[in-house]
Structure 1
Amino acid sequence: MTIHKEGYGIIAVFFLLLTAIDALIYFTIGSGLLLDIFLVATIAFFLLVVSFFRVPKRIPVVGDNLIIAPADGKVVVIEETEESEYFKDKRLQVSIFMSPLNVHINWYPVQGIIKYCKHHSGLFLKAWLPKSSTENERTTIVIEKDDKITILMRQIAGAVARRIVSYSVVGEKVIQCEQEGFIKFGSRVDLYLPLGTKIDVKLNQKVTGSQTIIGRFSD
């Protein structure tokens, strides 16, 4: 299994911490059933932490007219709404909730030029709440496609996720399904698409980042 670079430091810290806990228990109570239970528990927890940072082997699904899922997870919002940070008009919102068990990499849903990228400090409300989109810790990225269609992607931290990583740089050309960033321990990704976009997913549908077609731009 390949480990994402964002996990190297955290995995090392947890390894040292859990090893120290097991050593302390050994020198305190010695060997026996209780020590065996602690060893099994700490090994299982360490493997869970490692799995948070796994990098799956996938062949990306691409298409100039397609919007590809930017994250693994479940579709929790499909609705027309007002986007107040950048567009300041009506857009079609599609939101994907990432659980702690999902892959935590984020991918670019389309190719184009990064026109805007801004990180906002905020709260750590549960990510499925509607107000988390505007009140939580988040990073907003706007991508202008080659044919001048513009979409907005927003990474949102949640009650567990406390660290958003974005590789976006304003003015940079990005490739569809290239890695955009990482949300440590899961959370949510919102897409704001032009009105009239044909949506191919349904509420509560599980989607796979860089694989599932979210929708198609109208001709």
Structure 2
Amino acid sequence: MNNPEFLEILSLLAPGTKLREGIYNVLDGEMGALIVVGLDSEVQKIMDGGFEINCEYTPEKLFELCKMDGAIILDSDITRIHSANVHLQPSMRFSTNESGTRHRTAQRVAKQTDKLVIAVSERKKVVTIYKGEMKHRLRSTSDLMGEASQGLNTLERYRFVLDKALGNLTILELDDLVTLYEVTVVLQRFEKVTRIFQEMNTYMTELGVDGRL
């Protein structure tokens, strides 16, 4: 998945961001969480109870508020915490394939409101994000590093094959012997390099500050 909206979501949750730091705190504290990013009339329709906080967002405040049951509502740019301990009541007409209560609610809320919803599993210690029909489980830094390293090695091999094909094409052009086959081979090599680069871009975005090197 490499569309701009998905990459923007990953960048909001990447290591080095205040939101990811808050999620790390929740995981380290062995707690669960349900976080909705963005507040509008659609979100307000399904909110019940809770406390209006309306304070500046910090990772420490997010951690403390996650000690209560219920959802936490952040503003869209993740600078303020609007509400905490909120009971969300999404419509049952939105389907979900999740089993846990927190994740079922998160998926339904994401479909109904088209907001970014984050579910932190207390038992499995994993973070799952939802938005609309999209669902993605955040991977650990070590897993991403391994995949990114493998991707770099693959990219290096593809680039070597591409350079070789370009050199061969140049020689054939000088002798006026180029056929459609040689041109197609070069285009195929370019496509492979482009695809692996796009995949690497997703890894780098999800790694955040951990992927700079």
- Provide TM-score, normalisation by structure 2: 0.29
Higher relative CO (CA 8 A, sep ≥ 6), structure 1 or 2?
1
Q: Which structure features the higher share of helix residues?
A: 2
